[in-house]
Structure 1
Amino acid sequence: MTDTAAARLAELGITLPVPAAPVAAYVPTVEAGGFLYVSGQVSFVDGELVKGRLGENVSLEDGVIAARGCGLMLLAQAQAALGSLDRIARVVKLGAFIASTPDFTDQPKVANGASELMVAVFGDAGKHSRSAVGVPVLPLGCAVEIDAVFALLPA
């Protein structure tokens, strides 16, 4: 069976990063009841943590790139847990947390960086429900953190 998600990633010129190790007392993924729950992944881009707050010292464009970086790490964690992204039947939900100032209101535009990646990789099965929430601070001072729920095909 061809790994279609891997083929799409290759077509897009995307190489997934090495999955990040947890920074506290949790596991990166939990598979239960036909779903894979992926813990929040912070905004790494080209191996560097994107730090700061939207509306203060991180531009909207850089926030979108940071969210895409979170999406790539979500996929890397899923692939490590499942062995293949082709076990993913559907992206169910993304929860996006954006470190931002009180007057910054473009959190949904930032979160699109990860949402558009999911659709590019999984097609219609990448369309998902989502929340995009502004928060004053995130772990490690990062700009964006995103978690995910994936529905799985039977193993």
Structure 2
Amino acid sequence: MTATTPRPDLGSILSALAAASSRPRYAFLVLGLIAEAARADGQAGPWVQVRGEEGAERVSLRDWLARQLLPLAARDRRRAGLRAKVAARLGSNDPDRVEAALAEEALAIGKANVSRAVSDLVRAGLVRRHYAGRITDHCNRGGRRLAVYRVDPPVLNAIRSRPTLV
């Protein structure tokens, strides 16, 4: 957000996203999920703790975001075309193999979409991004570094001020 907007509300957040993103609704969904994963200081990542059937699992933030948004694409008409391409590439019509490969491909596409949405959020001034690695934090990705996103506190408060997002 800009210096002229000291206390953003949802309307000003959406307005900033509309100006900075070609997919503002998707970017807003990503922002809401980042805010959900963020600690009190607004920082989310590089890892998210996920509770599953087999206990707790540590997942990278970008993978977690992509997994959370995966159901949105499950009924997309492009999924049928992707399924056909995956089956042709595998040279098999075995439903289990095709579904496993399709899930892997959809997750990879989802991670790329999340990265684009976060770039839009950074461009809009709502999120800051850096990368944390096993040796040292760094501003550039690579070297086994994972993304860490920080939502500015006024934006985090505006998003969290509602019990549910509409």
Q: Could you tell me the TM-score, scaled by structure 1's length?
A: 0.32
TM-score, structure 2 length as denominator? 0.30
Work out which of the two has the higher radius of gyration on C-alpha atoms and give 1 or 2.
2
Q: Greater helix percent: which structure?
A: 2
